[in-house]
Amino acid sequence: MSFLFPSFLWALGLIAIPVIIHLFYFRRFKKVYFSNVRFLREVKEETSMRSRLRNLLVLLLRCLAVAALVLAFAQPFLPVEDDALQGRKAVSIYIDNSFSMAAESDRAPLLQVARDRARAIVEAYAPDDRFQVLTNAFRGGAQRLIGRDEALDAIEEVRVGPESRRLSRVLARQTSALTTETIDNRIAYLISDFQRNVTDFTAPDTNVQVNLVPLAAVQERNVAIDSAWFDAPVPQLNQNNLLLVRVRNFGDQAADNVRLSLVYDGQTKPVGTLAVPARGAVVDSVFLNINQGGAGTAQLTITDYPVEFDDTYYLSFQTTDRVRALQIDGDGRFDRNLTAALDLNVFDPTRVTAQAIDYGSLGSYELVILTDLASIGTGLAEQLRQYVRGGGNLLVFPPAGADLSSYNAFLRPLPADELGAYQEQQREVSGLNDEEFVFSGVFENRRAALNLPTTAGNYPLTRYGGRGQESLLTYRDGSTALAKFAAGGGNLYLSAAPLDPAVSDLSRNAEVFIPMLYKMGISSGRRRPAAYTIGRDEVIETSRRQAGADIVYKLRGPGGEFIPEQRALGNRVALGLGAQVPEAGVYDLIIDEERVDAFAFNYDRAESDLTYTSATELADLPDYTVLETDNPAALVEDVRARNEGRPLWRYFIWMALLCLLGEALVLRLWSV
């Protein structure tokens, strides 16, 4: 047996007090007159012996009571092992505050139980020990050790949040914080419901003692909208855009009559009723007719109780009502048919010659068209490559007699296939790739009646492996008439034939040419997500690049307004969010108080699966200790026992009380 405060044992000298009282206790006698004193001597001897025995017993009980009290204040304990932790300790406590912790246990919400357990752990340690209180938010301020009172205050402030973290990352963060101060005894506690999808422990640091505190929730059924996405790469204005939604059942029983609704433009439209099998998912289709250009938003909802955080799925999209198009012509004689096509109200055209290009404004156009350029200079070639890789769409019509070396020098680094020697021969286009976005959904029920273009000359395109050529129009012999190449975030469209009406009638074929130009302008090589996930440190991109160093990008939504980190990427801007999005919903991108874009954020669906790792499975993990306690008081004792030994002071308190009770009974019931 050892003592936490052995210096207090000097107080055992207080045992002398009852001894002194006993020795110097003189009973005062009364005179009693007897008529007959024949038996006086016998009675006196018997009474004296019984009195002496009772007094000795009272003395013993008093001495034992004093000794027990002294030993209790000295904090005796039995060491669990020889290397029990001694000295100051650094203690990290992780409180799982994800959405699953809002579930009910058999007595209270899990998060409330978790806070109670965390307080009990802190109170089990000495006032000079150091603590970390960590949640899923992973805030920078939590990566330092604090005092006991600060730790208790931090525990009280923990609330349910949208973030969900894998426990291996949590433990790595705890280990990092525990090494910030030179304290040898490092202890980590993880208080969680230990959902299976986040429980991914690896071997812990041998210098850190890891304890798991599992909390059990009442098993709940849950159905959630898992994800949603547009079938087409880019949603189109005034079209029935196919929106696919996946609904998943995380419970062990089939879910019937799950009502799905679409909210768009302030109106709620019932979509239908779904039957989702147990532990399965169904994908349903929703048609969304977008009636306004620019940044649009919608949301999908289902009805499911009691877990509701994942019943709504927000999404955002960009549609273009007028395609900003730039035509760059080599000789300044702009093609009449192309001019007429770009003057339609679906385009916002600009026309310049090769000598009058404003390179700084290239990024503001969705579509750039090159016509009749005899050669492409190195400066223009580099600017066009940056434009395409930054998300732009470039359509190239090489003229007859073009400088092939300059064209191929421009095409090769993208990379794209190169132009062969010009061939003057009459050819007919016979194939149209209506599975590719440019032509998909354009010619419904009219495919057989199409008049496809013919050419009187063309440049054969090479078919190098790895260049990623996708044929949009093909000649009868299978060679490519119009090719597409994805490069970075944009697309290059390369025609094998010139646009000159004397060579090709493509520009006169309005039913092919006009929708082709429009869909090229709204296409994108980098598919924009319909929604982002809170807590995954997403980086979002916008094409709304503004000139000037003093331009401030702000995001404004249900969680408030904040300024994200911004970084220019060509003609796009990347916005770093960190942990600034606290609540699901649609956040508008604001520049000079003008709404220029919108982004949708949803809670992490990892919390939707309410399947937990059992305490038995956790106990089988090597190098981890599972603390199974039903109340904070028992947890305090267990924590102290594991770190310092089995405390015995309670037993000595009971011993002192029993001794005092015995003394009272002896004095009252033992008459002399």
Predicted local distance difference test score (pLDDT) of residue 212: 92
Asked if residues 439 and 519 have their Cβ atoms less than 8 Å apart, the reply is yes
Q: Is the pLDDT score of 156 beyond 90?
A: yes
Query: For 89-219+614-629, CATH number?
Result: 3.40.50.410
Nearest residue to 431 (alpha-carbon basis) of 458, 459, 455, 450 = 450
Q: What is the pLDDT of residues 244-280, one digit of tens each?
A: 999 999 988 899 889 999 999 889 999 989 999 999 9
Q: Which tens digit of pLDDT belongs to each residue from 460-503? A: 999 887 888 999 999 999 999 999 999 888 899 999 999 999 99
Q: Which bin fits 332, alpha (ψ -120 to 50), beta or left (φ > 0)?
A: left
Does residue 546 carry a pLDDT above 60?
A: no
What pLDDT score does 566 carry? 83
Q: Tell me the per-residue pLDDT of 644-672, one tens digit each, with 9 for 90 and over.
A: 666 677 788 888 889 888 888 887 777 65
Q: What is the pLDDT of residues 357-405, one digit of tens each?
A: 988 888 888 899 999 999 999 999 999 999 998 888 999 999 999 999 9
Fill in the amino acid letter for 501. Answer: P
Say if residue 415 is preceded by a cis peptide, omega within 30 of 0: yes
In the prediction, which pLDDT does 225 show?
Answer: 95
- Alpha-carbon separation of residue 193 from 313, 391, 489, 606, 625 (angstroms): 25, 44, 42, 13, 15
d(CA 630, CA 615): 13
> Among 9-13, 180-184, 292-296, 301-305, whose mean pLDDT is lowest?
9-13
Instruction: Say what the pLDDT of residue 26 is.
Output: 45
pLDDT tens for 427-471 read: 999 999 988 888 887 776 555 567 889 999 999 999 887 888 999
Query: Percent of the chain having pLDDT more than 70?
Result: 89
Alpha carbon distances (Å) from 159 to 145, 146, 219, 499, 540: 20, 20, 22, 64, 27
pLDDT of residue 61: 82
What distance lies between CA 501 and its chain's CA centroid? 56
Cα-flanking dihedrals φ and ψ of residue 61, to 5°? -65, -40
* Sheet containing 240-249: order of strands: 223-230, 240-249, 281-289
- Which secondary-structure segment (H or E) carries 479? none
What's the confidence (pLDDT) of residue 606?
83
In this prediction, residues 204-228 reach a mean pLDDT of 87
Report the C-alpha gap between 557 and 532 in whole angstroms: 14
Please report the sign of the dihedral spanned by the C-alpha atoms of residue 151, residue 156, residue 157, residue 162: positive
Q: Are strands 490-495 and 532-533 parallel, antiparallel or unpaired?
A: unpaired
CA dihedral 552, 556, 560, 565 (to 10 degrees): -40
Residues in a beta bridge with 509 = none
- Measure the CA–CA gap between 15 and 64, rounded to whole angstroms: 8
Task: Name the architecture of domain 223-320.
Answer: Sandwich (2.60)
State the average pLDDT over residues 187-214. Answer: 90
Q: In angstroms, rounded to a whole number, what is the distance separating the alpha carbons of residues 193 and 208?
A: 22
Which amino acid, one-letter code, is at 143? Q
pLDDT tens digits, residue range 324-362? 999 999 888 898 999 999 999 889 999 999 888 988 888
Domain formed by 323-522, architecture: 3-Layer(aba) Sandwich (3.40)
Order across the sheet with 367-371: list the strands.
347-353, 323-329, 367-371, 393-397, 490-495, 480-487, 470-475, 427-432, 454-455
- Residue carrying structure tokens 């709304």: 544
Task: Please report, for the chain, the start and end positions of each structural domain, with discontinuous segments joined by +.
Answer: 2-79+649-669, 89-219+614-629, 223-320, 323-522, 532-602
Which of 2.50.20, 2.60.40, 3.30.70, 1.20.120 would CATH assign to domain 532-602?
2.60.40
State which amino acid sits at residue 423.
Q
**Coil, helix or strand at residue 255:** strand
> What is the pLDDT at residue 400?
92
Which residue did the predictor score with more confidence, 570 or 282?
Answer: 282
User: How high is the pLDDT of residue 162?
Assistant: 83
Q: How confident is the model at residue 122 (pLDDT cuts 50, 70, 90)?
A: very high
Alpha helical stretches, state H, 412-466: none
Q: What digits encode the pLDDT tens for the residues 125-137?
A: 888 899 999 999 8
Output the six-digit token pair for 68: 């027990």
> In whole numbers, what is the pLDDT of the chain averaged over residues?
85
Minimum mean pLDDT range among 7-16, 410-419, 579-588: 7-16
Do the domains at 223-320 and 532-602 have one common CATH topology? Answer: yes
